[in-house]
Copies of this chain bind each other. A is one copy, B any other.
Amino acid sequence: MATIKDVARKAGVSVATVSAVINKSKYVSDDLKQRVQQAIEDLGYRPNRVARSLKRKESNIIGITVTEITNPFYPLMLEGVEDNAINEGYNVMLCTTGDDEEKEYLLLESMIDQGVDGVILATIDDLNSKALKLVQKEGIPHVLINRAPENYTGSLVCVDSYKVGQIATKHLLQLGHTQIGFIGGNRQNSKSREKGYQAMLASHNIPVNPSWIIDGEYSMEKTYEKITKLMQTSRTIPTAFFAASDLMAFGAAKALLDNGYTIPGDISIVGSDNIDFSEDFRVPLTTVDVQKYEIGKLGCELLLNHITRKEEVSHQKIILEPSLVLRESSGAVRKK
């Protein structure tokens, strides 16, 4: 690999001048500029970004943490991030944490040590998260996307999960359902969706049956098990379920279908996320769209703003609007 010195020698100028023409950082006469450019061309020279990073203390790399990448929700979000990053001349470093706090911390640390200019965190639910504390302590620009602790005051972009719960539940109520179960997991998004669901029921004076609140652990398989068990042990089951993720909705639907129920004939299902395959699930899934791509894209924009204009970092919150996507898994409550 040719270095800046080689270029300088070949062009018969100093390295300072080469650097100046590369970065357009100060005036260089046309003559020298020509010679330098010619030399760069001839040698196929490309600046060593590592050296530049060391000196400038900026790498043009951003990091992103996600819990998992096999849930189709994340690739789309990631695409939003990457599209934006590439456009602005940044590379992206990816870490999958698997919801493991310790792994998350270590991976984040490794990215910081690698010199990332900032990080997008899609894994933070807790204000006391070690990972969050780390970026704060180190003063690394960061924005949370998709997930965020309830009273987080930093920059973030996510969907209004409370509304997700309201929208889904309202839809079910309008179809005449009053016995509506909830399937969620141990994440803030789920909790907010549950609150929206509870509030909507409460506003219609409908009590919630605690045994119809299912912990699906954000897993299709677990949800399948839990719902199967519910059918075996409960005397009555709801006429509808709202799930805090499409994957859990899938699990529930499969369990129901496998036990001879029809959807939506016997039981309605509403998911959330609107992942690509919800449209082509065994029963096309009614769900709530949460603007996955936008979350990633805006999150990246925000981060890049933080990075480039450090001084005017205003803690910005972007809360996106969810919207109902009507498909075939929800229908009028069955007649008794």
Give the interface of A toward B (CB within 8 A): 1, 46-51, 53-54, 59-61, 69-70, 72, 74-76, 78-79, 82, 86, 91-96, 107, 109-111, 113-115, 138, 250, 254, 276-277, 280-282, 284
Contact = CB atoms under 8 A, between A and B. Distances in A.
7 contacts: A70-B79, A86-B95, A91-B93, A91-B110, A94-B94, A250-B280, A277-B280
Contacts of A59: 50, 114
Count of chain copies: 2
Which 3 A-B residue pairings sit nearest by Cβ, starting from the closest? A50-B115, A69-B75, A277-B277
Contacts of A51: 54
Contacts of A86: 95, 107
A166 B256 CA distance: 37
Contacts of A113: 46-49
A207 B282 CA distance: 35
Given A70-B276, A76-B70, A96 B115 contact: no
Given A70-B276, A280-B281, A61 B93 contact: yes
A242 B185 CA distance: 39
Contacts of A277: 72, 277, 280-281
A158 to B, nearest CB: 20
Contact of A54 (B50, B82, B93): B50
A242 B127 CA distance: 51
A117 to B, nearest CB: 11
Contacts of A94: 78, 82, 92-94
Contacts of A75: 69-70, 72, 74-75
Given A72-B277, A74-B75, A91-B93, 4 more contacts: A50-B54, A50-B115, A69-B78, A91-B114
A60 B114 CA distance: 9
A114 B50 contact: yes
Nearest to A81: B94
